[in-house]
Homo-oligomer: A and B are copies of this chain.
Amino acid sequence: MKPRIAIDMDDVLADTVGKFIDIYRRDFDTTVLPTFFRENSFHEILEKDVYQRLADSVHQPGFFTDIAVMEGAQEVTRALSEKYDLYVTSAAMEFRNSLSEKYDWLDEHFPHIHWKNRVFCGDKSIIRADVMIDDMPYNLVSFQGKGLLFDAPHNRDNTLFERVNSWEQVGRILL
């Protein structure tokens, strides 16, 4: 049996921060450079009510439909699947409308990962795998295997886990 990798969707396979940047610029302000939000978490920058309204946009139908694929994710997961069993593990249960949108998004962008290897859950401590790649430290805390923290503006202060900055780096570590 191949070792298993559990791979998160938002901000790991999918550029969800990029989607929030687009919405922020569309609905609120275009005076701040988009690149600034790659370095700084919305949470730390925005007025509380603006942050909340931006965060609430995940509930809009279609939010998860047109998120861009993270650079290198398709190529590296294709290469990894030779050596590992890959599972997409997304905490999708928080957002009912995300379920079918994420399902179709995976069909479109990651057809090389079978539907049998998709997991939509809430609390990820239910996941059994050898490696987990996630941008949320609390998902790695409860994980029993090796955790890789996928770099994101909202996890820069975490030093508990091995950080990966790109899919290219994931490939170098795991291939």
Let me know if A17 is at the binding interface, CB within 8 A: no
B123, A116: Cβ atoms closer than 8 Å: yes
Give the shortest distance, in Å, between A151 (CB) and chain B (any CB).
Answer: 25
Q: In the docked arrangement, what's the CA distance between A123 and B119, Å?
A: 9
A144, B128: Cβ atoms closer than 8 Å: yes
In the complex, chain A residues 75-100 whose Cβ is within 8 Å of any chain B Cβ: 87, 89, 93-94, 96, 99-100
Let me know if A141 is at the binding interface, CB within 8 A: no
Let me know if A164 is at the binding interface, CB within 8 A: no
User: Which label, helix, strand, loop or mixed, suits the secondary structure of the A interface?
Assistant: mixed
In the complex, chain A residues 7-52 whose Cβ is within 8 Å of any chain B Cβ: none
A126, B123: Cβ atoms closer than 8 Å: no
User: Which residues of A come within 8 Å of B, CB atoms?
Assistant: 4, 6, 87, 89, 93-94, 96, 99-100, 103-104, 114-123, 125-129, 144
Known: A87-B126, A114-B122, A117-B122. 10 other contacts (CB 8 A): A96-B100, A99-B103, A99-B120, A100-B100, A116-B122, A118-B121, A118-B122, A119-B126, A120-B121, A127-B127
